[in-house]
Structure 1
């Protein structure tokens, strides 16, 4: 399709507007071929025609394979979802509709076409669970499936990636790609060439976490944040020594605060940039990052909380200085830091795949972003049974106190009937605070949050039982399936499902609106699975962060005597604030991608060049051309094979080293590029204008250093002893986007704050 044709298609289409009818027709035709498929001894044809995959006969075979292997007969809507994935779309399917089986059947279809499939999950647990659960299905079709986890050894990873279908958390997949970047022997490579990525929880991976950088680091150093800085900022008072901006994203010292800090440290802090950085990082950690909201402390370590999922963000950390400042704040030993050898965003990782598809319960809301950033369209697959859940209008209150009182009353009233209740909170601290308030009323709630995530399966298994009262963060919003009347293993009570259904099914209560409507929808979706009865409602107050941050200049209409605000304008204001929040996050995503798009192109070129050097004699030929006399001399004394191996190591070392330096340069460039706006210049244009020649200069530097080393090196000795030593240890982690913007943004805020203070 031409570029103009694609533009016209995008203009005419709407998110979720891909026609489902063709997929439904094929799925319906499969019923007539089911009996024939059931008579086959071997379901997989001896020779698979790629065109067969996606036909009605193929659907009948997949249905029979699922019946034999798993004891499940896929519904027509599941077959339609599978066909949508095989066409390269994102399928939106409601909770409880069997997305895991849909993804497995689609992965098998791609594998039968001869493609290598990576099923991308959000965490290790789901990757292993789904690979083992769906393993018999693949085996029935003559396919192999494996999974990769954080604890997998390099050999276990190679074996998993050698399978037809590989399940892996997005972070592990990215880390393996980064680690392959340091290999100097083709036999050490782990990840094969990317072909198909099938993304589970596609909106979470492709949108919420798209700009999260995965990092490979080496050459460890001790943390730089000083405990005395943390002790110093604890003595400062808000409003007197420092102020926080309206959005809660920046903090700056007042003139009095500057004087106090300078006296305490005995220096003029603006003459010591390093001291300025440490003071402000300590202040940010102290005032803007809250324990049990942004992070928890467990086993002597700071663990970040993923706000979109309510879970511990495994292996995730803030940029080194801020991470160390939080550790100093909590009186913990600073974790290791070091030089970033390479990094890649989740979005850049996914863009490596020629074919991408995915599935989730909430895709339409981000349909434009999926199309803009990945050229993906959304297919809305209807549920097998109509959803009868009753979603009540928000209950809005003037103050947080009024809201909490009404919330506790509602929970108490509902619980008295025996109806199971799931209360979704916005953070860990709120979940624990609410559980204490319920206990004061004599109600015992089971709490599920990032602190006890190991108990998640058992807690969720019982959440649909009569009298169940569960308080959870967003952990209960994704990847969970709450069955009415069910309990833990061996605890099922016959007839309990009908009894719970007669009480109205699971009732979901949200203690506040999230920044994203998708997270609200995910929480609602815990109730009403597969046509079950259920209900949901959200409690909101005018003091909730959503309204104070994203609609600070607007107020709710007057409240009634009970503190409730019942005028329609209140609902409009809440919806407006949520749209503003979603718009802010979308613009951050767009801006991040504008800056990283060029970097990803440069990375692709570097990796292509590196692969040619690694797998062939490109390095040797380049050095032979640059240093013909030296090359002949070394071949005569050491042999051509030794020289070629040394040339490969030399070029790879300098290519990796120069790329690391280039990344550092681009990071520094982006930190200060916003200053160009003061000269009426476009920061993005200026960034690209400097990044492109810097990249060319980097390639020239690789050639220069390689030639210089080759002229001096003794190729018969270990090159590591001659200045080509690689890091003795490397480690991987994810960096959460710095919540305070660039360093220059922070400087401007501090200066502006100081000037405002002095004008008073």
Structure 2
């Protein structure tokens, strides 16, 4: 009955409406503990925290006492935490923060901590102290005997927060560490061995992939996952959810069709090729195909035996659909992708090999190394490994539906400690981007004349630099923050609130850091506050209202004054791509081009909803495919773990090749032979899984063609993928037995290398855009548009 009631409540309850009354009712009891805890010495405070421990994590890395089966190593889901435990954890945490940081946690921070400790995503406004709330929750889980990963969006924030919060953890008797790319294997094991470990989502994910390729239990970096607290949860769980993390092994340098790149460079839009209004696809016209065929020496592009059409199409996509300084930068002789949702360089991120090489050929750069994909994992699958997940962010409500659907997480909206008094002006809409740009420059001129600091949020690198040029010509000096100078982000953001400061930024604008009025030292705080605080300008609506709110949230922290205004145009990319059919009768003022008609505001909101709907549908569609892959991966990893930790490989091969096994046992000894069998079977298992991933990728890239035959692509994908996966186990045993028979032995032992058991000489990790021009995205876009048009009609 309880289970049915819970299910009904989840259906009826709106996302983002977690009841906070349970937590708020505990605040008086927490405050009542303060006088008593203040009297304790530091050692006594640590001892009091130690009494909360329900059990300590086992030693790590794995020792001789490591359980042999996966079932034994699985961490049970954390037991529900009692009100008494919440009170004691929060009271001890508040006192530890007061002593270590000279910060007494606000009541709302403790409510946030309790929300995290009960497995919610808490929404706390900018400047309300999410970092401390997260640290107290992490310490609370650790004091329950759970290992905690605090997952951040980048390495800088992970290290900063771990070092910043370390004194609090130490007073509570909790060990803390962090992982970053520079750590060696021993340092990495020690970091994960701490009760609380901070790390970027990519770094933690890459360590999971590395652990899946090791051949000795002692080399494992990570213990079994138990609790994840996700910082900037909307960014990690939603924006990054479709970006797979990849482990690759060396093959050779990438190969691009430079001839195709040279040819498409000369083609003209509208004559030789067309693109759709969404910028997701490009195709040759008959005239374009004719030009290309002649340039290639008279080949027939559409001949089934020709392989040139694919390379020409990839080159055309790189030329027509990917724009320098918008989708990527060229820096230090390399193509660097830009993360659209954050405006930063997407470290280690690349497109699938063919497209990556095509962009490099377009920019006349040498192709980067091409790798054989050894394994991959999506962020969504990475988070699903944790029995308990909680998160925190300033903008969760807008994605509450997705957090519930994909992660079974509910959003708890924590009220601010001090009322938000920021003034959000109504959007100013213009007929054209040029009219809009002139109005933005004029608004900056007017506000700057008062000395009030200004932060301008632009859509991409190119726009930020264009606006900076316009401001320079208008004798309005500014500082630019974009993917080109992201290393200077902290310094630039620290002074964005200074008197007379003008900062032009992409969406990266210091997420994870606060803009203090008066600058980093707060010297002009009162002067700036009297002028109205930070003035935030958005140069266009983002594809998500959540991104709009993030930019607005840079102003008005902790009750500071501030203001924001968005400028928009009916010819912005958002409108042209998602709602190109502008309602008739909308008119603009002749001189300024400004539109005051309410229909224009409705239309831009409609375009944004379409964009959000497309993203949601693509997320759903991606997960429909990856869910099967993750199920297969889980099954295979259970078998791999058994091979890794036991003598199962030796038992299998002894049964398969008993005569050869006995012969090798006499030469090598039972222990060494068991190691050889393990190494051989793990090699073939890993190789066949890599081959299976390549096969599935090829199937998915062509699966949309099945729709021509009125078959459901997803069903066809399953129908193809499942039988192939079932072949892996038998093939591993067959190949391993053959290797054991064929391997030569000598004075130095057995020559596995000569028998083909050769792992890549080098491996590297990167993130990959998941089919940026996939037809599934097209279908999603059309489906959502159709639904919204029906509603509108």
Q: TM-score, normalised by structure 2?
A: 0.91
Counterpart position of 1:550: 578
Deviation at 1:731, TM superposition (A): 0.7
Counterpart position of 1:270: 302
- Counterpart Cα distance in 2 of 1:744 and 1:718: 49
More divergent stretch after superposition (234-243 vs 220-229): 220-229
Counterpart position of 2:693: 663
- Counterpart Cα distance in 2 of 1:22 and 1:541: 46
- Counterpart Cα distance in 1 of 2:618 and 2:306: 28
Pairs aligned (count): 742
**1:152-231 matches, cutoff 5 A:** 152-231=183-262
Deviation at 1:276, TM superposition (A): 1.4
The CA deviation string for residues 102-149 of structure 1, in whole angstroms up to 9 with x for no partner, is 111110001110001011010010011011111111111111111111
Deviation at 1:745, TM superposition (A): 8.2
Structure 1 residues 270 and 680 mapped into 2: Cα distance closer, same or farther (>3 Å)? closer
Is residue 116–residue 196 contact of structure 1 (8 Å, CA) maintained in 2? yes
Counterpart position of 1:754: none
Counterpart position of 1:147: 178
Is residue 676–residue 682 contact of structure 1 (8 Å, CA) maintained in 2? yes
**Other structure's SS at 1:334 match:** coil
Counterpart position of 1:755: none
- Residue 338, structure 1, aligned to residue 371, structure 2: yes
The one of 344, 347, 366 aligned to 1:314: 347
- Counterpart Cα distance in 1 of 2:218 and 2:88: 41
The one of 743, 766, 769 aligned to 1:736: 769
- Counterpart Cα distance in 2 of 1:743 and 1:282: 21
- Residue 559, structure 1, aligned to residue 591, structure 2: no
The one of 732, 737, 746 aligned to 1:702: 732
- Counterpart Cα distance in 2 of 1:47 and 1:30: 17
- Residue 540, structure 1, aligned to residue 568, structure 2: yes
Structure 1 residues 565 and 227 mapped into 2: Cα distance closer, same or farther (>3 Å)? same
- Counterpart Cα distance in 1 of 2:230 and 2:544: 20
- Counterpart Cα distance in 1 of 2:152 and 2:778: 35
The one of 472, 483, 498 aligned to 1:439: 472
Counterpart position of 1:632: 662
Counterpart position of 1:484: 517
- Counterpart Cα distance in 1 of 2:493 and 2:101: 23
Structure 1 residues 54 and 409 mapped into 2: Cα distance closer, same or farther (>3 Å)? farther
Is residue 89–residue 378 contact of structure 1 (8 Å, CA) maintained in 2? yes
- Residue 47, structure 1, aligned to residue 80, structure 2: no
Deviation at 1:270, TM superposition (A): 2.3
Structure 1 residues 678 and 168 mapped into 2: Cα distance closer, same or farther (>3 Å)? same
Deviation at 1:613, TM superposition (A): 0.8
Counterpart position of 1:12: 12
- Counterpart Cα distance in 2 of 1:709 and 1:317: 36
More divergent stretch after superposition (700-709 vs 443-452): 700-709
Counterpart position of 2:546: 518
- Counterpart Cα distance in 1 of 2:542 and 2:462: 15
- Residue 367, structure 1, aligned to residue 400, structure 2: yes
- Counterpart Cα distance in 2 of 1:366 and 1:394: 23
Deviation at 1:492, TM superposition (A): 4.5
Deviation at 1:522, TM superposition (A): 0.1
The one of 422, 432, 438 aligned to 2:455: 422
- Counterpart Cα distance in 1 of 2:404 and 2:129: 25
- Residue 380, structure 1, aligned to residue 384, structure 2: no
- Counterpart Cα distance in 2 of 1:598 and 1:331: 39
- Counterpart Cα distance in 2 of 1:3 and 1:319: 44
Deviation at 1:687, TM superposition (A): 1.2
More divergent stretch after superposition (32-41 vs 160-169): 32-41
Counterpart position of 1:402: 435
Structure 1 residues 714 and 307 mapped into 2: Cα distance closer, same or farther (>3 Å)? same
Counterpart position of 2:333: 300
**1:348-359 matches, cutoff 5 A:** 348-359=381-392
**1:457-472 matches, cutoff 5 A:** 457-472=490-505
Is residue 453–residue 502 contact of structure 2 (8 Å, CA) maintained in 1? yes
Is residue 673–residue 686 contact of structure 1 (8 Å, CA) maintained in 2? yes
More divergent stretch after superposition (363-372 vs 229-238): 229-238
Deviation at 1:498, TM superposition (A): 1.1
- Counterpart Cα distance in 1 of 2:311 and 2:331: 25
Structure 1 residues 68 and 477 mapped into 2: Cα distance closer, same or farther (>3 Å)? closer
Unaligned runs of 5+ in 2: 55-80, 783-793
**Other structure's SS at 1:726 match:** coil
Deviation at 1:40, TM superposition (A): 2.0
Unaligned runs of 5+ in 1: 750-760
Structure 1 residues 633 and 718 mapped into 2: Cα distance closer, same or farther (>3 Å)? closer
**Other structure's SS at 1:475 match:** coil
- Counterpart Cα distance in 2 of 1:390 and 1:540: 18
Deviation at 1:2, TM superposition (A): 7.3
Is residue 28–residue 76 contact of structure 1 (8 Å, CA) maintained in 2? no
Give the aligned CA root-mean-square deviation in angstroms. 1.8
The one of 113, 127, 138 aligned to 2:169: 138
The CA deviation string for residues 526-548 of structure 1, in whole angstroms up to 9 with x for no partner, is 00000001110100001101111
Q: TM-score, normalised by structure 1?
A: 0.95
Is residue 421–residue 559 contact of structure 2 (8 Å, CA) maintained in 1? yes
- Counterpart Cα distance in 2 of 1:220 and 1:66: 51
Deviation at 1:337, TM superposition (A): 0.8
The one of 101, 113, 125 aligned to 1:82: 113
Counterpart position of 1:753: none
The CA deviation string for residues 226-268 of structure 1, in whole angstroms up to 9 with x for no partner, is 3332221111111111111121111111111111111111122
- Counterpart Cα distance in 2 of 1:280 and 1:2: 56
Structure 1 residues 744 and 568 mapped into 2: Cα distance closer, same or farther (>3 Å)? closer
- Counterpart Cα distance in 2 of 1:516 and 1:381: 22
Structure 1 residues 172 and 513 mapped into 2: Cα distance closer, same or farther (>3 Å)? same
Is residue 54–residue 86 contact of structure 1 (8 Å, CA) maintained in 2? no
- Counterpart Cα distance in 1 of 2:690 and 2:5: 40
- Residue 621, structure 1, aligned to residue 623, structure 2: no
- Residue 289, structure 1, aligned to residue 319, structure 2: no
- Counterpart Cα distance in 2 of 1:501 and 1:104: 31
- Counterpart Cα distance in 2 of 1:191 and 1:409: 55
**1:23-34 matches, cutoff 5 A:** 23-34=23-34
Counterpart position of 1:724: 757
Counterpart position of 1:644: 674
The one of 545, 557, 574 aligned to 2:604: 574
**Other structure's SS at 1:292 match:** coil
Deviation at 1:222, TM superposition (A): 1.6
